Copies of this chain bind each other. A is one copy, B any other.
Amino acid sequence: MSTAAPATGRAPARAVGVDIGGTKVLAALVDTAGAVLAEERVASPHDWDGIRDVVVDLVGSLRTAPEAAGGVAGVGVGAAGMVDLDGVIHYAPNVPGFRKVPVRAELEAALGCPVVVDNDANVAALAEARLGAARGLRHAIVITLGTGVGGGILVDGRVLRGGHGFAAEVGHFQIDPDGPLCACGEIGHWETLASGSALGELARRTVAAGRGRAILAAAGGDPGAVTGEHVSAAAHGGDPEALAVVDRYAYQVAIGLVGLANIFDPELIAIAGGLVNDGDLYLRPIRAHFLGHIEGAAYRPAPAIVPAALGERAGVIGAALAVIEAHARPENRPGVGG
């Protein structure tokens, strides 16, 4: 298909990246080195009309910032949900009633510049691949352990999109037929055992069973208020019951990473999310369990498991890089059918 990208000569060295999340919309003016030159954020509206208006406002503001004087290559958007190769979002978990919205086309019409749209985890993986923890690598997996489990996968230097754009739903393979109910309606998906939310759930069950007093104390004595942060606090204090929760959770994370590594043979796995702020508290046991279960550990180089490097700005940086790369190489343009 033809694209809406104007056939300009040299691409401006800047772009706007937008990260549409469940709680906030973050937008940033980003240069080709991934530096955030200006940034704006607002609370997420609850429907697509509201989100579109907010994105148009934020982009308008950033395009007139002094740092954008040379113009921008376009606007990259990362959004939670199923985004196809034409930038149509088929389903967005955070936006009720959001179905098959042509986000790229609507934003290009409203903004008058090239727009690319991709899944939020995919653009975050692109940022980590180009400028972060997986810089310079061609095969890597970037996993975000948050409310759910997000994943972006680098295959041969490019973000895996699949036949229709819906690839890398890595939280959604079953690892326990007797496991918890997933937000997607299925049973025992990896997300139900490896997300940050799952850590909190594991901690609350531990406390309800009469173990984990230090965890409960960290939560101020309210069993219903226990979250993963209280596990971390108690574990940092050396509490053995908290450390047991950390180890169990790390195993649950590792067993899914093992499956992904057996399937993708990555050079590196980067983990994003609040947990990696706790230094090696979680990463050390994740690595140990991973090495204990990866296929052919004795016969292969195992991928390093490292913290992601770009934090909460990975999304906006990656979204901006996506449109910059698309501008430079139209055949690689994510969010546009090829």
Q: Given A156-B158, A169-B295, A174-B175, A164 and B263 touching (CB < 8 A)? A: no
Given contacts A162-B266, A169-B263, 12 further A-B contacts (CB under 8 A): A82-B296, A82-B299, A91-B299, A137-B163, A138-B163, A153-B263, A156-B158, A160-B264, A164-B300, A167-B265, A173-B260, A173-B263
**Which single member of B173, B175, B264 contacts A262 (CB below 8 Å)?**
B173
Q: Report how far A177 CA is from B155 CA in the complex, Å.
A: 29
A169 nearest in chain B by CB position: B262
**Which single member of B91, B156, B165, B170 contacts A263 (CB below 8 Å)?**
B170
Q: How many residues of A contact B (CB 8 A)?
A: 50
**Which single member of B90, B163, B267 contacts A139 (CB below 8 Å)?**
B163
Mask, A169-185, CB within 8 Å of B = 1, is 11011111110000010
The answer to whether A174 touches B264, judged by C-beta atoms less than 8 angstroms apart, is no
Asked if A87 is an interface residue, CB under 8 A from chain B, the answer is no
User: Smallest CB–CB gap between A92 and chain B, Å?
Assistant: 10
User: Smallest CB–CB gap between A231 and chain B, Å?
Assistant: 21
Asked if A259 is an interface residue, CB under 8 A from chain B, the answer is yes
If over half of A's interface residues share one DSSP class (helix, strand or loop), that class is named, otherwise mixed; here it is loop
User: Smallest CB–CB gap between A251 and chain B, Å?
Assistant: 10
User: Smallest CB–CB gap between A136 and chain B, Å?
Assistant: 12
Protomer copies? 2
CB within 8 Å of B: which A13-66 residues: none
Asked if A258 is an interface residue, CB under 8 A from chain B, the answer is yes
**Which single member of B163, B177, B259, B299 contacts A266 (CB below 8 Å)?**
B163
Q: Which of A163, A176, A295 has the most CB of B within 10 A?
A: A163
Instruction: Please name the 7 residue pairs, one residue from A and one from B, whose CB atoms are nearest each other, closest first.
Output: A162-B265, A173-B259, A139-B163, A163-B267, A167-B265, A90-B299, A169-B262
Chain B residues closer than 8 Å to A267, beta-carbon distance: 163-164
User: Smallest CB–CB gap between A234 and chain B, Å?
Assistant: 26
